[in-house]
Amino acid sequence: MADTLLAVDGLTRVFDVSAPWLNRVLEGRPRQLLRAVDDVSFSITAGQTVSLVGESGCGKSTVARLVVGLHAPSAGEIRLIRPDLRLQMIFQDPYASLNPRWRVRSIVAEPIRTLGLRSDEAAIRARVDELLGIVGLGASDGDKYPHEFSGGQRQRISIARALASEPEFLVCDEPTSALDVSVQAQILNLMKKLQRELGLTYLFISHDLSVVRHVSDVVAVMYLGRIVEEAPVETLFRRPLHPYTRLLLDTIPDLEAPRRDRTPMGGEVPSPIDPPKGCTFHPRCPLASERCRHERPELAARADAGRVACHAVEEGRHK
């Protein structure tokens, strides 16, 4: 596809979580490897929002960090449409991601100076004022320090800083999970407005399905380092196929249908250090068969749109 901005192919990241060398030798403990991301492939079309959703430890944040280059992949590749494509990241915690000793103006101006996007001080100043205006802050806020702002306003500063480098692509790692819902609504509205006006492309990482439903064009559900299902947002929410997606959607509280008859998902996410054989979801899956315990399902095209990795779906046992 001509307008594929970013394509990820067979992306894998393994972390060494072994005990220190001396302990391993003295106590005879083996090396332990954690496959945080295991053979993940997806692509993002320009101007769209692709979301990765899943529970803690499913590897979604590691994918984000791999895409922006904060980790090196152990295997697989990440291809950008152009080598000079500008990408930026917005982090979850607006308290930890801003330097407390810098004024907001310097924080937002740093990418402009580093990349040499404006030549003189007056132009930098004008650009910072413009950016603060775009995210809904006043020019006078530039002279304050981060601690003078609330969580939502700090996230606005993070967005202004990310926009300062004039990126086409933003990787957003849980950008609203540290915020109250009314503030979350402000930030989500701002991000949508910026996407419309600046033609931005987002890779959005979240554990919150209602937020994902609101912002995404395409959603990929992750479980223990792998994508188990991927589909356009309406398809995924209306006709989820993978048993994990279905249980996830069935488990979360729905304010429009509270107290519906829910099947709470039994069990817990297994340790990614020693994942179950075959399909990693089989110990919690109501449809698990003998085949699921031995053979790992690969992502295959769904009949309508998207992809799903499930033997039961392939065999038509999911109905």
Partner 1 sequence: MTQPVLSVRDLRVEFPTRSGTLVAVDGVSLDIAPGEILGVVGESGAGKSMTGMAVLGLLEPPGRIAAGEVRLAGARIDNLDERGLERVRGREIGAIFQDPLTSLNPVLSIGDQLVETIRVHTRCDRRTAREQAVAALTAVGIPAPTTRIDHFPHQFSGGMRQRVVIALALCANPKLVIADEPTTALDVSIQAQITALLKRLCKEHGTAVMLITHDMGVIAETADRVAVMYAGRLAEVGPVLDVIREPRHPYTRGLMGSIPSLRSRVDELVQIDGSMPRLDRMPPGCAFHPRCPDAGPRCARERPDPHPVGTGAVACWLEQGGVNGG
Min dist. Cβ of residue 249 to partner 1 (A): 8
Using the minimum distance from each CB to partner 1, give the nearer residue, 120 or 274: 274
Rounded CA gap, 163 and 271, in Å?
38
What's the min distance (Å) between Cβ of 242 and partner 1?
Answer: 14
Binding site for partner 1 (CB under 8 A): 55-56, 150-153, 180-186, 188-189, 192, 207, 209-211, 213-214, 233, 237, 247-249, 251-256, 258-259, 262, 264-266, 268-269
Q: What separation in angstroms does the CA of 153 have from each of 123, 137, 176, 204, 295?
A: 24, 8, 12, 20, 49
What is the three-class DSSP state of 119?
Answer: coil
Distance CA 216, CA 214 (A): 6
CA angle, 132 as apex, 191 and 148 as ends, to 5°?
Answer: 100
Contacts 24+ apart (CB under 8 A), 96-99: 97/158, 98/146, 98/154, 98/157, 98/158, 98/161, 99/146
- As measured in angstroms, the least distance from the Cβ of 252 to partner 1 is 5
CB 107 within 8 A of CB 161: yes
Measured from the CB atom, the residue of 12 and 176 that comes closer to partner 1 is: 176
Distances (CA, A) of 125 to 107, 130, 167, 245: 12, 9, 19, 48
Tell me the closest approach of the beta carbon of residue 34 to partner 1, in angstroms: 16
Q: Between 73 and 94, whose beta carbon lies closer to partner 1?
A: 94
**Smallest separation, CB 29 to partner 1 (Å):** 17
* Choice between 152 and 297, CB closer to partner 1: 152
Nearest distance from C-beta of residue 224 to partner 1, angstroms: 13
Nearest CA among 170, 145, 155 for reference residue 94 = 155
Q: Closer CB to partner 1, residue 64 or residue 187?
A: 187
Structure tokens at 72: 């090196």
CB-nearer residue toward partner 1: 217 or 314: 217
